[in-house]
Structure 1
C-alpha cells in the first residue's frame, strides 16, 4: 500500500470567492439574450456544475440553442470581468487558503489536486493569477468530464496519482462535491464558507468553518 495521500479541492466557493463575477457574468449572459437574470441564490446554487447542466437548471424553458448561447455569453462575460480586474481581485483566495496549501505542499507524502466545474482556460488563468503553478499534481476540469456529482473527476485524479480511495479526500462547498465524493468512494470534507449552506452538505463526513481547521482534520482522517 502506498504511503501517498491525495487531497482534492473544489475551486469556486472553496479555494476562491468568485461569486461576484459569477453572478455578474450570469446577469450579463441572460441580458445578452434578452432574458431576465436569475436570482442570485439560484445562480449560486448551481456553482460547481458544468455550464451546460447549469443553464439547463437556470433556463429550463429555453431551447437547446438558447442554452448554448447562454453558455457562450457567460464565458465571454466572465473572461471580460477577469481581464478587467485580474484574478486576485476577481476571485480572491479565502482567508487562510494560501497558508494551508503551502503547508500541505510541504508534506512529502501529500499530493494536491483540484476537481472543478471551471474550464481548462479558466483554471489556468486562476492558477497563474494566484501564483499557484506547481501546487496541484492533478487538475480535473469540466472540459473532459461529466458534470459533478458524477465521480469521473475523482476517479481520474486517483488514477493519475496512483492513490487509492482510502487515502483520498475531496474538499468542497457544495452538495455536488460531497455527492461526487460519496459516488467515488472517498471521504468528503465540507466547508461552510461557500455557496451551499450546511444543510446541503449532508454527505460530508465533517464540515469545517475555517481553513485552519483543515490540517488537523486531515491528520485525523488520513494519518
Structure 2
C-alpha cells in the first residue's frame, strides 16, 4: 500500500536531547533523596516517565505520589534549565522540509509532555514546520513507549493505517512500540543507541541528514 504518513519521534530524532533528559532525571531523583547514576538512566531514555521511573526505583510509580513528583520535576528542568542548550540533530529541518514537499502527512508521536513539546520543537528548529495539533504526547495514551498505545493514537490522529505509515525514531523503545502497532521504523544513531539495539528497524541512518542524502534509495522515496 502507498505510504501516506510519517510518524515523528522528537527527542534524539529531531533534537539532540537524550543526554539532557537523563541529566534532568538524575537531578530530579537527587532532589528526592535518590542517588541515581547517569549511566543507570541513559539507556532507558526514550521511555515515558510512567515506564522509566519504576525501572529505576521499583517502589515508585511514575503516575502518582513521589514518582509523579520526580517526573514533574524532570519536566520543569527540561523546560527551565536544559531546554535552552538543546540543538537540532544534523539535518532535521531539511528532512522535515523534504517530507512535507513529498506530500506526507506528518504526525508527531512523542513520550514528552505537551508542555515540553513546544520547547523541543523550537530547539529542533522545526516549530514552524510541524503542526502541534497533529501531535500525540504522553497525556494521549494510557501507557507510553515501549507500549504501542501512543503509536496507535498517533495513527488515529493522522487517519492512517499501520501499513500506510513509517515512523522515524532513535531508540529501541520507538521500534518496539511502533512494531507492536504494525508500523515499520527508520532509526537514527543520533539517539546514542547501537545498531544491535536498533536491529528491528527496517533501515538505520546516522542522522536525518544521512537519510536525506540517501532519500531516493530509502523506503520514503515514491
TM-score class, shorter-chain normalisation, is 0.7 to 0.9
Q: What do the CA deviations read for 1:44-79 (whole angstroms, capped 9, x no partner)? A: 222121112211111124476332232232223223
Matched with 2:91 is 96
Q: Residue 146 of structure 2 contacts residue 176 of structure 2 at CA under 8 Å; is this kept in 1? A: yes
Q: Residue 90 of structure 2 contacts residue 209 of structure 2 at CA under 8 Å; is this kept in 1? A: no
How do residues 133-152 of structure 1 correspond to structure 2 at under 5 angstroms? 133-136=128-131, 138-145=134-141, 146-152=143-149
Q: Are 1:78 and 2:74 matched, yes or no?
A: no
* TM-score, normalised relative to structure 2: 0.85
Structure 1 portions without partners, runs of 5+ = none
Moved more, 163-172 or 19-28: 19-28
In structure 1, C-alpha distance between the alignment counterparts of 2:78 and 2:26, rounded to whole Å: 11
Displacement of 1:158 in angstroms is 2.2
Q: 2:172 aligns with which of 171, 175, 191?
A: 175
Q: Are 1:57 and 2:55 matched, yes or no?
A: yes
Q: Residue 12 of structure 1 contacts residue 47 of structure 1 at CA under 8 Å; is this kept in 2? A: no
Matched with 1:10 is 9
Matched with 1:111 is 105
- The number of residues matched between the two structures is 215
Structure 2 portions without partners, runs of 5+ = none
Q: Residue 26 of structure 2 contacts residue 38 of structure 2 at CA under 8 Å; is this kept in 1? A: no
How do residues 192-211 of structure 1 correspond to structure 2 at under 5 angstroms? 192-211=189-208
Displacement of 1:177 in angstroms is 0.6
Q: Are 1:120 and 2:114 matched, yes or no?
A: yes
C-alpha change, 1:158 and 1:26, in structure 2 (3 Å) is closer
In structure 2, C-alpha distance between the alignment counterparts of 1:74 and 1:212, rounded to whole Å: 30
Displacement of 1:199 in angstroms is 1.2
* 3-state SS of 2:196 partner: helix
Displacement of 1:219 in angstroms is 5.9
Cα RMSD after superposing both structures: 2.4
Matched with 2:24 is 25
In structure 2, C-alpha distance between the alignment counterparts of 1:140 and 1:218, rounded to whole Å: 29
C-alpha change, 1:133 and 1:61, in structure 2 (3 Å) is same
C-alpha change, 1:218 and 1:115, in structure 2 (3 Å) is farther
